[in-house]
Amino acid sequence: MHIPVKRSKDNQILGGVIAGFCENFDWNPAIGRVLYVILTLTPGFPGIIVYLILWMLMEKPDMN
């Protein structure tokens, strides 16, 4: 099972997950990362686990 969003090839810090979503929705990746960190720090949201699951489910970036 894959999510039809590709991870970012050019704008990645760890796996390119957040930047891939931001590129797909035409958002600024820096703002997306800040929002994800804030969301991760809130109690009740398993941010690291969600990130790793998305990393596995998202399509790999094109290497061209």
In the DSSP assignment, the letter for residue 24 is H
Number of C-beta neighbours around residue 10 at 10 A? 8
pLDDT band for position 63 (50/70/90)? low
What tokens were used for 57? 């489910």
**Run of H or E including 59:** strand 58-59
Residue spans of the domains in the chain: they are: 3-59
CA dist 5 and 39 (Å) reads: 21
Q: Report the predicted TM-score, pTM, of the whole model to 2 decimal places.
A: 0.78
9-50 residue pLDDT tens: 888 888 889 999 898 899 999 999 999 999 999 998 898 899
